[in-house]
Amino acid sequence: MKTQQKNRRCKDIKRWLYTALSKQIGPDAGWVQQHIASCPKCRSRLLWASRVGVALQLIKSQPHSLDLLAQANQKAVSVLKHSLRYSDKAQKLKAAMPQPTIFERLRKYRSAAANLAACVTILLLMKAGMFSSTRKFQNDGNNALRHYYTNYVGDEIADEIFPS
């Protein structure tokens, strides 16, 4: 019980510290808000940062193609100053394409691989005699029931219920 109280107290203190620090030095701090209101350069930077944040959220929420990196790089290079825009590194950046991992390339074969693994497992179980022992249990059960019916009802009815 004391551990739970201590953990709860630690969480409360963390939350309080975060709130206190964000009020003093975070984006919600009064002096930061006053500076942004009076500085056009910082206001512009904040506007661009918020646009980038919205764009990143949109990218995360929607499926994208492999050329998305190239498109993003082209846009990034286009905002560079003229001397940097045509440098060798900028041209390499424009042409950069992501290389999908081996798992991403093989994802389309996932269900076929699972089916193949299931078939191989069944074959191995059959080879190991797992299913033959199940058949033996079934036969033993049938023999026990036949014996029960033979003892209590007679051979004739047992033969009708359990033909050989």
What pLDDT sits at residue 130? 65
| Range 84-90 average pLDDT | 79
Q: Domain coordinates of the chain in residue numbers?
A: 1-62, 65-99, 107-161
26 neighbors 32 (Cβ within 8 angstroms): yes
What pLDDT sits at residue 76? 79
> Whole-model pTM above 0.85?
no
Q: What is the pLDDT of residues 63-76, one digit of tens each?
A: 666 677 777 777 77
- The answer to which of 86-95, 109-118, 140-149 has the lowest mean pLDDT is 86-95
Q: What is the pLDDT of residues 100-142, one digit of tens each?
A: 778 877 888 888 888 999 989 888 877 777 666 777 778 888 8
Pairwise CA distance, residues 150 & 145, whole Å: 8
100 neighbors 68 (Cβ within 8 angstroms): no
Strand, coil or helix: what is 128? helix
Please give the helix or strand (H or E) that residue 138 lies within, else none: helix 130-152
Pairwise CA distance, residues 30 & 24, whole Å: 8
